[in-house]
Amino acid sequence: MSDPHEPLTESVRSLIDAVIRTEVDSDQIAAAHTHVTAALEILGAQLMPGSFGVRVTPDGSSEPCGNVLIGQRNAIAPPLTVDRDADGLVSTEVDLGAAYEGPVGHVHGGVCSLILDHLLGATAHRPDGPAFTGTLQLRYVRPTPLGRLRAEAWVEHEDGRKTYARGRILCAGQTTVEAQGVFIRPKAHRPAG
């Protein structure tokens, strides 16, 4: 069974895009506001307490809910689907529209940084524990256009709890942003050996 939140979250993503790009008149905006207010009353009747990032499912696995990039319930998450290949390359393909715009027609540099932080961090993540950003350096090679993008990251080397990773964002095969970073696993998740 699919998550019943998925269609709602996707509708809110579409709503965000429509709010940014609409050119309807003020009466239509007021009517839409009335509908959104009614939806807020329905959804706000019962809210989860505490952290919104991860929820444990009945089978014991976890699902990301509020994460800004992969949250299943977060309408501002693109969302990213992170793939790993046999050689250790971590990648995602994503469509970024009006909600992610900085300079006209281009993705905001902070959004590019956010995506690369997440993806480079995924290279250091282990099933039994997370890795946290120690440093992240970016080089903006050229503006990143809105639309379909690919991001990829790989491990350069590891040193104890530290993973040194590199990555990039590409549009139509051209690199727009390059990144390198150090990601650290907490001592409790130190690898054996």
- Same domain assignment for residues 169 and 113: yes
- Same domain assignment for residues 53 and 124: no
Q: Tell me what pLDDT residue 128 has.
A: 73
For the residues 61-81, what does the mean pLDDT come to?
79
For the residues 75-90, what does the mean pLDDT come to?
90
C-alpha span between 11 and 13 (Å, rounded): 5
Cα distances from 54 to residues 12, 74, 146, 153, in angstroms, run 20, 11, 29, 23
C-alpha span between 110 and 114 (Å, rounded): 6
Q: What is the mean pLDDT of the chain?
A: 89
Domain C-terminal end among 45, 76, 107: 76
Residues 75/12, Cβ–Cβ less than 8 Å: yes
For the residues 45-57, what does the mean pLDDT come to?
74
Domain hosting residue 107, numbered range: 80-189
Q: Is the pLDDT of residue 188 over 90?
A: no
Higher-pLDDT residue of 54 and 138 is 138
List helix spans (H) across 44-141. 109-124
- Same domain assignment for residues 63 and 90: no
Q: DSSP code of 173?
A: T
Instruction: Provide the whole-model pTM.
Output: 0.85
DSSP 87-113: TS-EEEEEEE-GGGBSSTTBB-HHHHH
User: What is the phi-psi region of residue 183: left when phi exceeds 0, alpha when psi lies from -120 to 50, beta otherwise?
Assistant: beta
- Same domain assignment for residues 88 and 50: no
- Same domain assignment for residues 62 and 94: no
Domain C-terminal end among 42, 76, 110: 76
In this structure, what CATH number is given to the domain that contains residue 173? 3.10.129.10
- Same domain assignment for residues 65 and 109: no
- Same domain assignment for residues 111 and 138: yes
Residues 149/96, Cβ–Cβ less than 8 Å: yes
- Count of structural domains within the chain: 2
Q: Is the pLDDT of residue 48 over 90?
A: no
Domain C-terminal end among 47, 76, 105: 76
Most confident of 41-45, 81-85, 112-116: 112-116
Q: Tell me what pLDDT residue 58 has.
A: 75
- Gyration radius (Cα) of the chain, Å: 19
